[in-house]
Structure 1
Amino acid sequence: MTLPRATLRLQLHHDFTFDDALAQLDYFAALGVSHLYLSPVTTAQPGSMHGYDTVDYGAVSAELGGEGALRRLADAVHARGMGLIVDMVPNHMGVGGSHNAWWLDILEWGRHSAFARHFDVDWHSPDPALRGKVLMPFLGAQYGEELAAGRITLQFDAANACFYAQYGPHRCPICPTDYAALLQSADRADLTALAAGFQGLTTQPDDQIRATAARDALRAFVEREGTSAIECVLESYSSDDPVPRDRLHRLLERQHFRLAWWRTASDEVNWRRFFDVSALAGVRVERHDVFEAVHKLIFKLYAEGVIDGLRIDHIDGLADPREYCERLRQRLASLRAGVPYIVVEKILARGEALRDDWPVQGTTGYDFMNDVGALLHDPAGAAPLAETWASISGADVPFAEVSLDARREILSASLAAELDHAARALHRIAREQPGTRDFTYAVVHRTVAQLAMYFPVYRIYPSNGVRSAIDNRYFDVALDAARKTLPRANLAALEQVDAWLGARAPDPANGTANGAKAARASNSSNASSGKHGSPNPPVAPLSHALIAQRTALALFSQLTAPLAAKATEDTALYRYGLLLSRNDVGTDPDDFSLSAEAFHAANAQRQRHTPHALLATATHDHKRGEDVRARLAVLSEIAPEWSATLRAWSTLNQAQRRGDPAQWSPGPTAEAMLYQTLVGCWPPELDPADEAGVHALAERVAQWQLKALREAKLRTNWLAPDEVYESDCQAFLFDLLAPQRREGFLQELTTFVARVAPAGALNTLLQTVLRLTSPGVPDLYQGTELWDFSLVDPDNRRPVDYAQRAASLDDTAPAAKLAHWRDASVKQAVIHRLLALRERAPGLLREGEYWPLEVRGALAAHVIAFARHHGDAWAVIIGTRHAAALLDGDTPLVAPERWGDTAIVLPKGCATTGLHDWLADSQHVSQHVSQHNAQGDPASLLYLRDVLAALPVAVLTSVART
């Protein structure tokens, strides 16, 4: 395995293809990254701008240039000594439309399709109208309305000799068991003769072969005679008149799909989705045949050396992530020498660690993004900002309560069908045993809902149907909360559900699985002796009871993960606005800040456990760009001033409000979050007199605003948008930024931005240095080597001006560019220099020990410092933080004399002379003092008045630049 030195994430689509990436390869190499990290390369829905809606795992996307273009890129990458990592999406596929052959096959043949078990479809729905069918919730209005309007039609595909129902872009194949009746409906001898080939067909595999032969005859007929005879068939099922319309309806009712209004999905969908997205269907990659089919192309590309590693998307959607990772690593290792490089997209809660028994290098870096972001926040700002937010929102509650309310709503409104699936799986277990059969579906449903609602992490990872001690640590939080909220009469059912959800393995003779508490105690004992509390893998075939329990556990875990994501990331984070820089993927706004000691502890853990995980500060999924968050973090340092500014702006802009004074638009919370957004994303170079530039920014913010309002689900939402309210909110925004406000609000806004922008830029430089020097693999998101003032997607996926970036890249020291910090070239220079250091001394920052450094002096609280040590090489990393009150003028640099006696204590053994600052091209010598370091040795100090004289960050090493 060639471990990445640094990765660069590229979002591929039809406007930025493999060849477009190839055209920029010289720049990427010159910048210093070692690996390109590509978004999914398999075939997605036509026009996809992200690639996560795969429709064909077996082919490289033609829209991206096809396999030939991918290989050209790979050859050029490898010729430069670089590598390729690709994003893999094993959890779900794009469905609907007309391009997913697997999905179309199950619509055609139902449960006897060769691909019926490729997807998580419940073929035994309790709803008779869905039994043996797949819900297709893609209609824009109710089924009867769309049918009567003629928008559902019967069509014929001459090339493939098949009939299908068409609705907009959606294609639903008619089962060949109905072809005989279809062909006979035209009352023509030639078609009746063809119908004979379809007579008596069933959906069984042998009859599917017969159907293929009959279709061949039908295709030959059409090629010979044309389609005029088929048009007669289609006419007899036209929806223009009541009789043929009823005939079409009855035909559709016999199919293995049920066309339905899109609103029915939340309540009735009988297949697993990605979150609540009905265009993405869950794939059963835990099945061996499905696993091989899903990865066939990826395995070929890896075996042939085209790709060098994988990023696994949404690992928590899989039935058994641990088992998947083990199987994936084994297969990759069998194809090529070396240890495969694999990272997983995993959201970790505070205090949660990636499981040690997952054979991967680590996560994609949201945990680091959270830690470094929290480090930038001044804890002193938490209380005053909370008081201000409480006065604005009218509710003095922590984020946890906002999130809990969101969970309750999402569970009932968006994920009701998923909750139903998990509850029914448990209820089926109850019904199989005399001792539990009187637990009703309703009580099981209530119990599961409460457990899911209070679940503190995305999910658990049981082994062989049994929870580990680590799992119980989280499960018991939900269990205790459920005991307090459920009626006393339901507590017996709760204890039973606890057992079925992995407190202990089921007794094959008695599936009631009693003794949950004793089993948890046993698991804890195993954990304390170094085990995870999981039983040895069974030698015998799995019992029916164990299969049922594993199924229920998988469904429960595949409920809690999307519930956490939808309720927190896609709802609560858009409702709670104490400080938006703490509202992002993988963050908890109640964890407002992080001390230097806690940051060091997290980094030390990374160095010990996942030294090759990715370190991210920007992604294709972030809510706000890394520099937006860095600037907004400054508000924590000036909380009283920001609170007064919010009140002043709200008063100033009262006249622009819309609607009823009692419930005006946008409303106090949406208004406050809008002001934060404008402060955070205003470009440093934008002059308020630039009408075109301000309007372009307003268009971007309006796009964010619409998404934010709908995701909050308070006065409007995606399911039932209030277009009047949304229009009023947009008008409010455009009024704020209108040219006539140039001497009013626009002047106030830009003056305030100028006030916080230097400290924000300083935060950016600190965040950048920490990402490039902490244990792990730094990951750059496309274009963010210059300013990243992007907002939520699709804004964060806008085209990147690589010509501008290539033109600004040179070997000038970052310190020399600080005076012109507004053009962001200093940020790019820092990245360039530190990537060069990682190349010059690869072991130092990749495997080096991590040493937190003691800081002494009056301004010690404004410094974070640590050392990396590998062999004879040392690196000392120093950064300024919480510096808003220390800055003079508009330069993001603390004046040297302000540092006074503040100094870094160097560790024993670190070079005391000849330390070269890679960011300022200067040499530094430590000073010996009579005081001692933590080891009792005479201390060697580096004074910040010297080290940070030219730049607010420093990376001093014993490694020469040349």
Structure 2
Amino acid sequence: KLQRRCAEALGTALPQDGRAIYMIVEKILTGDETLRKDWPVHGTTGYDFASQVTQLLVDSSAETAMTKTFNRFIGHSLHFNHLVYAKKLLVMRLALANDVNVLGNMVDRLSEQNRWYRDFTLEALARAVRETIACFPVYRTYLAPGRPVSDEDRQVIERAIAAAKRRNPGMEESIFNFLRDILLSRFPGIPDDDARAAHTHFILKFQQSTGPVMAKGVEDTAFYIYNRLAALNDVGGEPQQFGLGVDAFHERNLNRQRDWPATLLATSTHDTKRSEDVRARMIAISEMPELWRRSLQRWRVVNRRWKRSVNDTEAPDANEEYLLYQTLIGTWPIQPSGEPEENSTPEYVERIQTYMAKALNEANVNTSWIQPNEEWLAAMRDFIAKILEASLKSKFLPSFLPVAKEIARLGAINSLTQALLKLTSPGVPDIYQGNEILEFSLVDPDNRRPVDYKHRREMLAQLAQANPRELVDLWPDGRIKMFLTQRALQFRREHVDLFQRGSYLPLRASGTLAECCISFARQLDRRWIVVIAPRLSSRIGFPPVGEKWKDTVVDLPETLVLENAREIFTGREIGFDGRRLNLAEGLSILPFAAITNVR
């Protein structure tokens, strides 16, 4: 309807594909869910890409070690899907209880109109509704009464009903079958218009309820509890998944190129739990699982004296402490020299305190927005202040700073990789305010702070004379990220059709560090650009340039004419070894490259 109205306002006929204007939807895709191909839109706001590029940079080989470390630190194991189920039920008992109770009453009235189902009690029907919503695998369906049920919606409903049955073996299956048939419009013998209207109203109301329950139960609750690797706990994220292989990332890009070439590609938004650069650092923890384990043991011991007893329980608890250490790793200020700041500022301490207070209230474990536990919140606030206090007697910071330094370097490489992939993958790159440089914000309101655009304009003006080697050496000042962004956007602007209509060609690396490279080409006729970026850079060395790449090469397809190739960030002429690019040559100056034959 909106596209039709836009066409009318523009005074043009509605195009055959139904898309009169560029339009994207804020649709959070979960699991293997895909955007409906019959929607007259150009894609999503990009949370799916943010999740995929984050997962690409995770070292999946560390999953077992990271899981053991997390479980041992908090003292028990956590199963993400069980946690989500429990927290969605919690949300329906508290914040959204009224909405779910209304659904229970509505379905009860529907059952009374059919002699086969009128014996179902209100309590049983309301529970079936709650259990089905708790087992819903996606945010919502798009059932439209009077229209055929799509295969996607049918599969979602049947999956949710089947899962609810498994979790409730003591309930009669017929109750769940009744609810399923109502949602799929299989409800027989609707006697009159009023009954049909009630049926329609229930379906629409049900669909309006599953999304908020998912958002509150998962994004705003479970994501603050399942802290194994908090970088994965973001909008559209899949924390139970630990890493995405290069081939799988290429597959996602190929699908995007085929189905949604104009979709948005995001890495930070107003709604992400932490900025792209904070996530990039946190991801790097997965590359150093043994260092992380040893550090946690040490930090727990030296900081225990700053905890306090609240209602006979140690505050903050172990899971909250685990999240705090990841947050400090992700946000700790680094000097231009690459050394971490030795002391925290009052402003920084307050930011961390504010973030952790929100995280604890969202988690709904020891405190909540509805019933804030002020004593517990004060214990966390004081704990943060004490461990970050500058003192000759401090035992935490001397142990923490070397780890922060090492992970910050790896995180910077991750930041550059995700920026380059966003700017060159199929889709339209989106840059959230302030993220033109390295920017370490947390969840709102932290990511709504005023952006110093004057500083960024000054940095941008200096880039014309920038020395790429110097940018690498002074990576903490963020200029290298702005340099990458500016040059890549300039190339996109000059060669729009290469990115809008060009094909996407996954490239394969071989050699000692092949797993540490992600590479692809965009090609249109004889024009092409080859993109190369590092991942898992702890295996390469810092910075991951030159001979550190050893014998690693990228194989180039026969379709690329390898004459007059240049690297767009450094302007260097690039030579090839047959149809191979030696990464020691291609990445001799910068830890990333974009090579093209376009002049």
Normalising to structure 2: TM-score of the pair?
A: 0.94
1:274 alignment counterpart: none
- Establish whether residue 714 from structure 1 lines up as the match of residue 333 from structure 2: no
Q: How far 1:663 moved relative to its partner?
A: 1.6
Tell me the alpha carbon deviations over residues 90-133 of structure 1, each in whole angstroms, 9 at most, x when there is no partner. xxxxxxxxxxxxxxxxxxxxxxxxxxxxxxxxxxxxxxxxxxxx
- Please give the alpha-carbon distance, in whole angstroms, between the structure 2 residues aligned to 1:402 and 1:382: 19
2:562 to 912, 917, 920: 912
Q: How far 1:662 moved relative to its partner?
A: 5.4
Change (3 A) 1:493 1:743: closer
SS for the counterpart of 2:430 is strand
1:519 alignment counterpart: none
SS for the counterpart of 1:868 is strand
1:500 alignment counterpart: 182
Change (3 A) 1:653 1:350: same
- Establish whether residue 477 from structure 1 lines up as the match of residue 130 from structure 2: no
1:815 alignment counterpart: 468
1:883 to 508, 520, 537: 537
2:7 alignment counterpart: 333
- Establish whether residue 945 from structure 1 lines up as the match of residue 584 from structure 2: yes
Q: How far 1:813 moved relative to its partner?
A: 5.8
- Establish whether residue 433 from structure 1 lines up as the match of residue 134 from structure 2: no
Q: How far 1:449 moved relative to its partner?
A: 0.9
- Establish whether residue 797 from structure 1 lines up as the match of residue 448 from structure 2: yes
1:683 to 317, 333, 337: 333
2:406 alignment counterpart: 755
How is 1:314-329 mapped onto 2 (pairs within 5 angstroms)? 327-329=1-3
Tell me the alpha carbon deviations over residues 161-193 of structure 1, each in whole angstroms, 9 at most, x when there is no partner. xxxxxxxxxxxxxxxxxxxxxxxxxxxxxxxxx
Query: 1:813·1:920 contact (CA, 8 Å) conserved in 2?
Result: no
2:519 alignment counterpart: 865
Query: 1:656·1:736 contact (CA, 8 Å) conserved in 2?
Result: yes
Q: How far 1:486 moved relative to its partner?
A: 3.1
- The residue identity in structure 1 corresponding to 2:162 is D
SS for the counterpart of 1:951 is coil
Change (3 A) 1:941 1:496: same
1:452 to 123, 127, 133: 133
- Please give the alpha-carbon distance, in whole angstroms, between the structure 1 residues aligned to 2:393 and 2:416: 31
- The residue identity in structure 2 corresponding to 1:953 is F
1:696 alignment counterpart: 347
Q: How far 1:543 moved relative to its partner?
A: 4.7
- Please give the alpha-carbon distance, in whole angstroms, between the structure 1 residues aligned to 2:567 and 2:393: 44
Q: How far 1:428 moved relative to its partner?
A: 2.0
Aligned residue pairs: how many?
586
Change (3 A) 1:423 1:954: same
- Please give the alpha-carbon distance, in whole angstroms, between the structure 2 residues aligned to 1:487 and 1:689: 56
- Please give the alpha-carbon distance, in whole angstroms, between the structure 1 residues aligned to 2:342 and 2:508: 48
Query: 1:814·1:826 contact (CA, 8 Å) conserved in 2?
Result: no
2:65 alignment counterpart: 384
SS for the counterpart of 1:831 is helix
1:838 alignment counterpart: 492
Query: 1:902·1:944 contact (CA, 8 Å) conserved in 2?
Result: yes
Q: How far 1:694 moved relative to its partner?
A: 2.1
Q: How far 1:439 moved relative to its partner?
A: 2.2
Q: How far 1:752 moved relative to its partner?
A: 1.2
1:728 to 358, 366, 379: 379
2:298 alignment counterpart: 648
- The residue identity in structure 2 corresponding to 1:833 is R
SS for the counterpart of 1:781 is coil
SS for the counterpart of 1:344 is coil
Query: 2:526·2:561 contact (CA, 8 Å) conserved in 1?
Result: no
Q: Tell me which structure has the larger Cα radius of gyration.
A: 1
- Please give the alpha-carbon distance, in whole angstroms, between the structure 1 residues aligned to 2:388 and 2:592: 35
- Please give the alpha-carbon distance, in whole angstroms, between the structure 1 residues aligned to 2:277 and 2:575: 33
- Please give the alpha-carbon distance, in whole angstroms, between the structure 1 residues aligned to 2:354 and 2:392: 21
- Establish whether residue 958 from structure 1 lines up as the match of residue 597 from structure 2: yes
Percent of pairs identical after alignment?
35
- The residue identity in structure 2 corresponding to 1:429 is L
- The residue identity in structure 2 corresponding to 1:618 is S
Q: How far 1:861 moved relative to its partner?
A: 0.5
Q: How far 1:740 moved relative to its partner?
A: 1.3
1:564 to 203, 209, 214: 214
Tell me the alpha carbon deviations over residues 578-620 of structure 1, each in whole angstroms, 9 at most, x when there is no partner. 0111111110111111000110000111101111111000000
1:899 to 542, 549, 554: 549
Normalising to structure 1: TM-score of the pair?
A: 0.59
1:609 to 246, 259, 262: 259
SS for the counterpart of 1:593 is coil
SS for the counterpart of 2:581 is strand
Q: How far 1:690 moved relative to its partner?
A: 6.9
Q: How far 1:367 moved relative to its partner?
A: 0.1
Higher relative contact order (CA closer than 8 Å, sequence separation 6+): 2
Q: How far 1:823 moved relative to its partner?
A: 0.2
Query: 2:334·2:341 contact (CA, 8 Å) conserved in 1?
Result: no
- Please give the alpha-carbon distance, in whole angstroms, between the structure 1 residues aligned to 2:116 and 2:90: 34
- Please give the alpha-carbon distance, in whole angstroms, between the structure 2 residues aligned to 1:482 and 1:576: 22
2:124 alignment counterpart: 443
Change (3 A) 1:489 1:666: closer
Tell me the alpha carbon deviations over residues 39-69 of structure 1, each in whole angstroms, 9 at most, x when there is no partner. xxxxxxxxxxxxxxxxxxxxxxxxxxxxxxx
Tell me the alpha carbon deviations over residues 762-799 of structure 1, each in whole angstroms, 9 at most, x when there is no partner. 10000000000000000000010011210010001100
Query: 1:849·1:869 contact (CA, 8 Å) conserved in 2?
Result: yes
- Establish whether residue 623 from structure 1 lines up as the match of residue 276 from structure 2: no
Bigger shift: residues 434-443 or 444-453? 434-443
How is 1:655-670 mapped onto 2 (pairs within 5 angstroms)? 655-659=305-309, 663-670=313-320
1:927 alignment counterpart: 577
2:190 alignment counterpart: 511
Change (3 A) 1:923 1:615: same
- Please give the alpha-carbon distance, in whole angstroms, between the structure 1 residues aligned to 2:235 and 2:585: 38
- Establish whether residue 422 from structure 1 lines up as the match of residue 103 from structure 2: yes
Query: 1:343·1:614 contact (CA, 8 Å) conserved in 2?
Result: yes
- The residue identity in structure 2 corresponding to 1:948 is L
How is 1:276-291 mapped onto 2 (pairs within 5 angstroms)? none
SS for the counterpart of 2:372 is coil
- The residue identity in structure 1 corresponding to 2:4 is Q
Query: 2:513·2:540 contact (CA, 8 Å) conserved in 1?
Result: no
SS for the counterpart of 1:904 is strand
- Please give the alpha-carbon distance, in whole angstroms, between the structure 1 residues aligned to 2:242 and 2:341: 36
Q: How far 1:742 moved relative to its partner?
A: 7.5
Query: 1:814·1:830 contact (CA, 8 Å) conserved in 2?
Result: no
Query: 1:737·1:746 contact (CA, 8 Å) conserved in 2?
Result: yes
Q: How far 1:482 moved relative to its partner?
A: 1.8
Change (3 A) 1:406 1:895: same
Q: How far 1:667 moved relative to its partner?
A: 1.2
SS for the counterpart of 2:509 is strand
Q: How far 1:433 moved relative to its partner?
A: 2.8
- The residue identity in structure 1 corresponding to 2:488 is L
- Please give the alpha-carbon distance, in whole angstroms, between the structure 2 residues aligned to 1:911 and 1:812: 31
- Establish whether residue 590 from structure 1 lines up as the match of residue 233 from structure 2: no
- The residue identity in structure 1 corresponding to 2:281 is R
- Please give the alpha-carbon distance, in whole angstroms, between the structure 2 residues aligned to 1:550 and 1:591: 37
- Establish whether residue 407 from structure 1 lines up as the match of residue 88 from structure 2: yes
Query: 1:443·1:490 contact (CA, 8 Å) conserved in 2?
Result: no
- Please give the alpha-carbon distance, in whole angstroms, between the structure 1 residues aligned to 2:70 and 2:232: 14
- Please give the alpha-carbon distance, in whole angstroms, between the structure 1 residues aligned to 2:575 and 2:437: 32
Q: How far 1:503 moved relative to its partner?
A: 5.0
Q: How far 1:743 moved relative to its partner?
A: 5.2
- The residue identity in structure 2 corresponding to 1:907 is P
Bigger shift: residues 427-436 or 662-671? 427-436
Query: 1:332·1:340 contact (CA, 8 Å) conserved in 2?
Result: yes
Change (3 A) 1:489 1:858: closer
- Please give the alpha-carbon distance, in whole angstroms, between the structure 2 residues aligned to 1:411 and 1:627: 34
